[in-house]
Chains A and B, each alone.
Chain A
């Protein structure tokens, strides 16, 4: 209990409180703007949290992302545009509900569903993370090599669209991660004579480019015309919302379960969780034929709307236990923590319990804070949506530029941001997912370091990677994950044949 008290004391830090409140407002704002994702919000928040201690930095990112994922539902319901990709699955239903006069119920359900989903995801984190950490304490460099490889393999298999393209995205990230001094000999790789590149591709400017600048480019290419905002009546909203949630409690349970599992998989975040949950609810519901048509339906908002927030929290399970991020937001956060010298892993669970309790508490606090702030955002949503993109986009570009510069007070970081911004846009336009690029960039050095350490330690005895019990288990899991698409196809052919 002493650790819990210490954690509470750490949370009373004024800097942390200010960081949490400011990032909450920021998250609601960015999340509510169509086309600006929670990942972009994280990338742009990083230059600020970079100057904070680890716990306030994590607190700011957790609070901001919980707010942003809920706020993404606002423009879904009001102007039929998802505020973040995590809301895209049920945008049609939310909008049709609003058009037929049930807008406040739809948003109320989205709000309370998000809060419950976030808290359930946090409970999953609190239960699963320490158990897995106990197991992970047995790991040596061999096992960490396999866990990182497993994370990379999973990110390819569950990437959206074609898996070949997912693999290429991952390889591009891995290649970028090899720029700079190498671990075995200190040899300068791919620096082309630049002294500044010896330290490698700076991670934070790379993220700001991939997710910040590239999203602005996409929005600039396809300007959205003036939007017509549907008016809402919020009287009696919470009473009706609670009644709806009780009626569709099954959807709530399945949404939370699906979200928690998918969030914990490396590379899959809230948007995939929402799509899977939507599909599962549609299959299970008696009223599934009404989804996305006519007046729309509130049930998918209950399930998918909570699934995306549950995924957000459970993505921290692999991130804290193995140092393998569960989604793009935790990938960025992990990059920041590594730069700050905090190495997440099982030791964290023994040596720094107050910090972990702090993280758990932040999840609960952030989601409770979402109730009043989310309600205010619903009331003020019409105003939020009237910010003209012609002003907002340049402001974001300005923050991309100055944010990248501030990491190292150098112009190379701005160039990295610019190049990766254009690359990110081109990749996504050609159907390549961006999440594996980030995972490759973060996990590349971990894979290489653990491999080289292992082989140099044993004078190139590669059998160690296969014969140690946990290594062998992880190897089998990796192979199964890689073969999963083939297995699934085989089962389908057998069934239909």
Chain B
């Protein structure tokens, strides 16, 4: 038998697990406190609060188990989950989220065609596509989505200014 190094319990640093566990337990506690305001069934039996209450309680339990295991696993080797992510990477991820948020904010006023076309171009350009390709791809995609959803599937996409 060759001796293979035992993998870390979860592969992420213990500090991450500590934070995850504390957040989980806090979420569970908040749920347990909140469901106490839910009404009971007429005969005094638990109703709407029962199921989320159990889930909340278990979240507290497993969150604390994770905390304990993280503390016990202190000092064991683990891979950094953010290894290889550069500042540019974070920027690109923010740009992806930017398209969704931008669409939420602008679509109703500017309409689907204008909003999606411009946001798609900006995102492609940010991710490194050449401007000409980005313009063409953004236009084709926006047109394709419009034809498929608006014309074929009869989804009323926002019209905005162009409507």
- A and B pair up: yes
Binding site for B on A (CB under 8 A): 47-48, 51, 161-162, 164-165, 167-168, 171-172, 174-175, 178, 182, 184-185, 187, 189-190, 213, 216-217, 220-223, 388-391, 393-395, 397-402, 405-406, 409, 411, 414-415, 417-418, 421-422, 429-432, 444, 447-448, 451-452, 455-456, 460
B110 within 8 A of A: no
Contact present for A221 and B58 (CB under 8 Å): no
Whether a CB of chain A sits under 8 angstroms from the CB of B29 is no
Evaluate contact between A161 and B69: CB separation under 8 angstroms: no
B124 contacts which chain A residues (CB < 8 A)?
Answer: 390-391, 394
**A185 B41 Cβ-Cβ under 8 A:** yes
- Contact (A431, B10) CB under 8 Å given A190-B52, A390-B127: yes
Q: Does the CB pair A175–B56 fall under 8 Å?
A: yes
Chain B 70-106 near chain A by CB (<8 Å), digits 1 or 0: 0000000000011011001110110111011101100
Complex Cα–Cα for A456 and B103 (A): 46
Question: What's the nearest-Cβ distance from chain A to residue B1, in Å?
Answer: 12
CB contacts (< 8 Å) of A402 on chain B: these are 112, 116, 145, 149, 155, 157
In angstroms, Cα B93 to Cα A421, docked, is 12
B123 beta carbon closer than 8 Å to chain A = yes
Interface pairs A-B: 6 shortest CB-CB: A182-B48, A390-B127, A390-B129, A394-B123, A220-B92, A184-B47
Given contacts A171-B59, A178-B52, A400-B100, contact A431 B127 (CB under 8 A): no
Residue from A187, A221, A399 with most neighbouring chain B CB atoms (10 Å):
A221
**30 A-B residue contacts at CB 8 Å?**
A164-B66, A165-B10, A165-B20, A165-B66, A168-B62, A171-B55, A171-B58, A172-B59, A178-B51, A182-B47, A185-B47, A220-B96, A221-B85, A222-B85, A393-B127, A394-B96, A394-B120, A394-B124, A394-B127, A397-B96, A398-B142, A398-B145, A401-B100, A402-B157, A411-B104, A421-B100, A422-B97, A430-B81, A431-B81, A452-B50
- Taking a contact as CB atoms under 8 Å apart, the answer to whether B20 and A217 are in contact is no
Q: Which of A165, A388, A422, A452 has the most CB of B within 10 A?
A: A165
Contact B100 A388 (CB under 8 A): no
Instruction: Tell me if B9 and A162 are in contact (CB < 8 A).
Output: yes
Interchain CA distance A288-B56 in the complex, whole Å = 47
User: A190–B65 Cα gap in the complex (Å)?
Assistant: 26
Q: Is the CB of B55 within 8 A of A174?
A: yes
Q: Are A164 and B51 in contact, CB atoms less than 8 angstroms apart?
A: no
On whether the beta carbons of B153 and A187 are closer than 8 Å, the reply is: no
Chain B residues whose C-beta falls within 8 Å of the C-beta of A405 in the assembled complex: 155, 157
**Chain B residues in 8 Å Cβ range of A220:** 89, 92-93, 95-96, 127
Most chain A C-beta atoms within 10 Å of own C-beta, residue among B16, B55, B92, B97: B55
**Chain B residues whose CB sits within 8 angstroms of the CB of A388 once the complex forms:** 129, 133
Q: How far is the CB of B29 from chain A (nearest CB, A)?
A: 13
Within the complex, what minimum Cβ distance (angstroms) separates B46 from chain A? 9
DSSP majority for the A interface? helix
Since A187-B39, A391-B133 are in contact, a sample of 4 more A-B pairs with Cβ atoms closer than 8 Å, ordered by chain A residue number, is A48-B148, A213-B100, A389-B127, A406-B149
B141 at the interface (CB under 8 A from A): yes
Which of B31, B82, B108, B145 is A175 in contact with, Cβ under 8 Å?
Answer: B31
Q: Is the CB of A430 within 8 A of B16?
A: yes
Cβ contact of A415, chosen from B31, B104, B127, B155, cutoff 8 A: B104
Q: Which chain B residues numbered 122 to 161 have a C-beta less than 8 Å away from chain A?
A: 123-124, 127-129, 133-134, 137-138, 141-142, 145, 148-149, 153, 155-157
Report the Cα distance A469→B106, complex, angstroms: 59
Contact A184 B48, beta carbon cutoff 8 Å: yes
Task: Closest A residue to B136 by CB, please name it.
Answer: A391
Given contacts A161-B10, A414-B103, contact A460 B48 (CB under 8 A): no
What is the distance, in angstroms, from A369's C-beta to the closest C-beta of chain B? 23
| Residues of the B chain whose Cβ atoms lie less than 8 Å from the Cβ of A175 | 27, 31, 52, 55-56, 59
> Considering residues A47, A389, A391, which has the most beta carbons from chain B within 10 angstroms of its beta carbon?
A391
Nearest B residue (CB) for A156:
B62
Query: Contacts A184-B47, A189-B48, A398-B120 hold; do A417 and B100 have CB atoms under 8 A apart?
Result: yes
Question: Which residues of B have CB within 8 Å of A401?
Answer: 99-100, 103, 116
CB pair A409–B155 under 8 Å, yes or no, is yes
Chain B min CB distance to A329 (Å): 22
Shortest B95–chain A CB gap in Å is 7
A448 touches B51 (CB 8 A): yes
| A397 touching B155 in the complex, CB below 8 Å, given contacts A189-B38, A402-B149 | no
- Please measure, in the bound complex, the distance between the C-alpha atom of A196 and the C-alpha atom of B48, giving whole angstroms: 19
Chain A residues with Cβ under 8 A from B100's Cβ? 213, 397, 400-401, 414, 417-418, 421
Query: For the complex, what is the distance from the CA of A318 to the CA of B123, rounded to whole Å?
Result: 42
- Residues on A with C-beta less than 8 A from B55 are 171, 174-175, 178
Q: How far is the CA of A185 from the CA of B28 in the complex (A)?
A: 23
Q: Cβ of B85 and Cβ of A216 under 8 Å apart?
A: no
Q: What's the minimum C-beta distance from B125 to chain A, rounded to whole angstroms? A: 8
Residues from chain B with a CB closer than 8 A to the CB of A390 are 124, 127-129, 134
* CB–CB A414/B120 < 8 A: no
Against A, the Cβ 8 Å flags (1 = close, 0 = not) of B22-62 are 00100110010011001101000101101110011011001
Known contacts A401-B99, A409-B155; is-contact A429 B89 (Cβ 8 Å): no
Please give the distance in Å from B129's CB to the nearest CB on chain A. 4
Contact of A187 with B48 at beta-carbon distance under 8 Å, contacts A220-B95, A391-B137, A397-B123 already known: yes
- The chain A residue with its CB closest to the CB of B65 is A164
B114 contacts the other chain (CB 8 A): no
Residue of A nearest to B117 (CB): A398
Chain B residues whose CB sits within 8 angstroms of the CB of A455 once the complex forms? 45
Please measure, in the bound complex, the distance between the C-alpha atom of A175 and the C-alpha atom of B155, giving whole angstroms.
Answer: 31
Query: What residues of B have a CB within 8 angstroms of the CB of A409 in the complex?
Result: 155-156
Is A221 within 8 A of B103, CB to CB? no
